[in-house]
């Protein structure tokens, strides 16, 4: 049986159900959302079909600019922290025995699949006054009395790095495992220390991978929604939080939709950038 183009309509049969589901429940909702972003909002949470730009004009406010700036800054910080932590770790991971690698992969997947609610709850307990690490510091005499370490920016950042670190490692893993091992061996034979070889050989060889990973973790962090709410103060809320807040609590669906469309555009722009970086890497 050779691979061949579909001959008759029956050959397309298997495609009907998946294509229908994806069109009806992803493309149509997506289109609905775009349409609603141009609708006119009515008092009391309703909206009527229209074609207005007023929902997008609200972006021009200082408040919205502040939230957008904060979201982008937070996601960039998370991405940098994660890649800096994950790069040496993933390299060391690929050098372990297969058994240990599988153990770590299972652990990383388990943490990665954890609900944001659970991560938020776990960190809020760890940083709390009654059950947190500050009690440990009191016992060792470093602190006089236990303190609550959240809500704060540090708590939001820690929680989000916790959430994104397994993702970062799993994104870097295949690229690093496929890396030619003779590169590092050559560096070592020529007398460079492992740390120097890491920075002078491995990091430049992975330049494109690192760039692509940074962008992917950035997008991942941009989607974080509960952690800023659980571990931060209202000034630490991100665009994702604001979208939900407008949609559910303020009942302003058109504005929420406009913000979501904007978020998609930012994300798609970044995905395009990732692909571009990847393509350049292939040519080089």
Partner 1 sequence: MIHWLKRFYFLGIGLFLALPLIVVAGVSVNAKQTLAFPPQGFSLGWYGEIFTNPEWRAALVASVVLATTSAALAVLIALPLSWFLWRRIAPWANIFQVLGIAPFTLPPVITALGLLTFWATTGFYGQPWTAVIGHAIFFVTLPLVTLSLGFSAIDRSFVEAAATMGANDRTIFRTIVLPLILPYLVSGYAFAFVLSLNEYIVAYMTVGFTLETLPIKIFNALRYGYTPTMASVTVLFVFIAALIFSLVARFGDLPKLLGAMASDEP
Cα separation, 122 vs 151, whole angstroms: 14
Q: Which of residues 106-165 bind partner 1 (CB under 8 A)?
A: 106-111, 113-126, 128, 130-133, 135, 162, 165
User: Of 8-16, 60-68, 149-157, 183-191, which segment contacts partner 1 by CB under 8 A?
Assistant: 8-16
Q: Which of residues 194-213 bind partner 1 (CB under 8 A)?
A: 194-195
| 51-110 binders of partner 1 (CB under 8 A) | 85, 88-89, 92, 98, 101-102, 105-110
Element (H, E) at 9: none
Window 172-191: contact mask with partner 1 (x via CB under 8 A): -xxx-xx-------------
Q: Are 238 and 17 a contacting pair, CB within 8 Å?
A: no
By CB under 8 A, tell whether 265 contacts partner 1: no
Of 3, 8, 141, 191, the one binding partner 1 by CB under 8 A: 3
Quick one: which of 220, 189, 218, 197 has its CA closest to 88? 197
Measure the CA–CA gap between 125 and 119, rounded to whole angstroms.
10
- Choosing from 225, 233, 250, 281, the residue that interacts with partner 1 (CB under 8 A) is 225
User: Which C-beta is closer to partner 1: that of 98 or that of 283?
Assistant: 98
Q: How far apart are CA 222 and CA 224, in angstroms?
A: 6
Nearby residues of 196 by Cβ (< 8 Å), 6 or more positions away:
187
CB of 52 to partner 1, least distance (A): 17
* Cβ-contact 168, 217 below 8 angstroms: yes
Name which of 80 and 219 has its Cβ closer to partner 1.
Answer: 219
């Amino acid at each position: 049986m050779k691979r061949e183009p579909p001959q008759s309509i029956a050959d397309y049969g298997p495609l009907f159900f998946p294509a229908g589901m994806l069109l009806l429940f992803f493309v149509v909702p997506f289109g609905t959302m775009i349409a609603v972003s141009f609708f006119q909002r009515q008092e009391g949470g309703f909206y009527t079909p229209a074609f207005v730009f007023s929902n997008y004009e609200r972006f021009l406010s200082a408040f919205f600019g502040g939230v957008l700036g904060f979201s982008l800054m937070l996601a960039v910080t998370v991405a940098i922290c994660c890649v800096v932590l994950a790069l040496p770790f993933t390299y060391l991971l690929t050098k372990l025995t297969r058994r240990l690698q599988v153990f770590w992969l299972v652990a990383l997947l388990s943490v990665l699949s954890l609900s944001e609610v659970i991560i938020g709850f776990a960190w809020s307990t760890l940083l709390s006054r009654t059950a947190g690490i500050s009690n440990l510091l009191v016992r060792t005499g470093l602190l006089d009395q236990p303190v609550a370490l959240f809500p704060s920016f540090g708590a939001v950042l820690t929680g989000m790095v916790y959430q994104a670190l397994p993702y970062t490692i799993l994104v870097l893993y295949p690229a690093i495992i496929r890396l030619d091992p003779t590169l590092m061996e050559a560096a070592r034979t020529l007398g460079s220390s492992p740390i120097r070889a890491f920075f002078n050989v491995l990091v430049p060889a992975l330049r494109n991978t690192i760039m692509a990973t940074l962008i992917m973790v950035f997008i991942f962090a941009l989607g974080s929604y509960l952690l800023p709410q659980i571990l931060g103060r209202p000034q630490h809320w991100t665009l994702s939080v604001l979208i939900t807040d407008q949609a559910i609590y303020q009942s302003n669906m058109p504005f929420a939709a406009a913000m979501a469309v904007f978020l998609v555009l930012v994300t798609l722009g970044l995905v395009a950038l990732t692909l571009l970086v990847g393509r350049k890497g292939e040519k080089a």
